[in-house]
Structures are given as structure tokens and as C-alpha cells.
Amino acid sequence: MEQGDNDAPVVFLHQIHRRYRQGEDTLTILDNAQLALWAGQSVALVAPSGTGKSTLLHIAGLLEQPDEGEVYIGGAATSGLSDAERTRIRRTEIGFVYQSHRLLPEFSALENVMMPQMIRGLPRKETIQRSKEILAYLGLGDRVAHRPAELSGGEQQRVAIARAVANAPRVLFADEPTGNLDPHTADYVFKALMQLVRATQVAMLIATHNMDLAARMDRRVSLADGQVIELD
Ligand code: ADP
Ligand code: MG
């Protein structure tokens, strides 16, 4: 799997090891973890706090390097890439949603969604139109001019989702995206994520503690002793 390959998983984590030094001790978080994510498939990562869910998402999303192992994106190995090349892949192929929206407070919803497209170098006019379309698709057509502080928690999180998919990534990682939301709003935000998977065939991995939401996804995995295990 040297070159990009359409039959390959969108993301493949191969024998990933991750350790943190904790004073004198070494904390092994991921110990030969393996996981394949496929286009159009939603996967729930359900495991207790501190087991390494965020670590796994950060490594898969090229935000952090493993100590050993390889991350393949679209069948292509990423460990030998330059920082600039990793950044390019992160911007174009990968979307990330966090528990807190992390929107830029001084910019409107529209500008927040435009930002990753502008950074990528797309023409301004095109990014405005595309951002409006995505926001409308997520039910925010009448909120484009609002700043984050003028939006509800669920609206903020839907803007964050719009921003994450603005560059049409092949994979979307969400780290407890509904963790701060009340059950009704969580359900609405979750539906928006699932709708995107079906409409765009993006691969999606959501770390969540919500078993009801996990049950509605295509597949469930967990972490045990640093390894990814399939549930069900
Ligand atoms: P989860 O998301 O499942 O709660 P994390 O991936 O955030 O788990 O963390 C897994 C473990 O690794 C935790 O015990 C955490 O304290 C530890 N850890 C995470 N990041 C670091 C770091 N940069 N340095 C040291 N320990 C870390
Ligand atoms: Mg976490």
C-alpha cells in the first residue's frame, strides 16, 4: 500500500504504539492498536475515560505521531512525510470536531466555515457560496451572520461540524462531540453527523460515552489494554 488506493480503507492504523513518560514511569496507552475505517461507515469508539480515545483520534488525524506503527490515509503511509505534507493532508482529507466547538469568537458562523477553505487557497466567492450551502444543509441557513456567542450550544456544534467538512474530507473524527449537550440537542447534532456520512460517504469515528448514540452507528469498537477491540 505505497500509493493511494481506492479499495484501501480510508484510514488504517497499523500496529500503533504510544507511550507517555510520567516521571520515572512509562505509561503505555496504545499497545499494537489496529483499526480500519471505511468510506461511508460510522464507527463509535466507546471506552472509559483515560483509556486513550483522544490519543487514538489524534494519531489517526495526524495531529500526533505514534512511537511505533504506521498511519495509512487512503492507502498511503504517512510516517515518512514532511510536516508540510502532513499539514496538507490534515487540511484536505481530515475533519475534526471536538467536545467544545473551538470556533473563533470574533468571526461569524459563515467566516468560521470559510476559514479552512481560504487557508487552502480556494477563491473567496466560492468559499462563501460553499459555506452557505453547508450551513443551510445543517439547518443554520438563518444563522450565518451570528457569532459563536450568539448561538446555542447545539448550533455552535453544528457550525463546528460544517467547518470540519468544509474541505470535503475523506474522514471525520469527532471527540465526544455531544458531551456538552443536553440529550435532545445531542440527538440533533448526532443526526447531522450521520446525515453527512450518508450524503458524502465520509468515514466517521466518534469517541462517545453515549451508548444510545453508539447503538445507532454502523459499528462499535472499544479500547482494552491499549488495543482496539470490536464490540457486538
Ligand atoms: P481518553 O480520551 O480515553 O480519556 P486520553 O487519550 O486523553 O484518554 O489519555 C489516555 C491516557 O494518556 C491518560 O491517562 C492521560 O493522562 C495520558 N496522556 C494523554 N496525553 C498525555 C501527554 N501528553 N502526556 C502524558 N500523558 C498523557
Ligand atoms: Mg478524550
Give the residue among 216, 118, 107 at the shortest CA–CA distance from 159.
Answer: 107
Instruction: Encode 39-48: b = buried (16+ Cβ within 10 Å), e = exposed.
Output: bebbbbbbbe
pLDDT in tens, the chain (232 residues): 444 556 789 999 999 999 999 999 999 999 999 999 999 999 999 999 999 999 999 999 999 999 999 999 999 999 999 999 999 999 999 999 999 999 999 999 999 999 999 999 999 999 999 999 999 999 999 999 999 999 999 999 999 999 999 999 999 999 999 999 999 999 999 999 999 999 999 999 999 999 999 999 999 999 999 999 999 8
Q: How far is CA 7 from CA 19, 37, 55, 128, 201, in A?
A: 32, 12, 27, 33, 14
Question: One-letter amino acid identity for 26?
Answer: T
C-alpha cell at 3: 500509493
C-alpha cell at 160: 463546528
pTM confidence score? 0.95
pLDDT in tens, 125-137: 999 999 999 999 9
Pick the residue whose CA is nearest to atom 7 on ligand 1. 54
Cβ atoms within 10 Å of 106's Cβ, excluding its own: 10
Q: Residues with beta carbon inside 6 Å of ligand 1?
A: 20, 27, 29, 47, 49-55
For the CA of 51, the nearest atom of ligand 1:
3
59 alpha-carbon distance from chain centroid: 11
- For the chain, how long is the longest CA-to-CA vector? 55
Is the separation of the CB atoms in 112 and 103 below 8 Å? Answer: yes
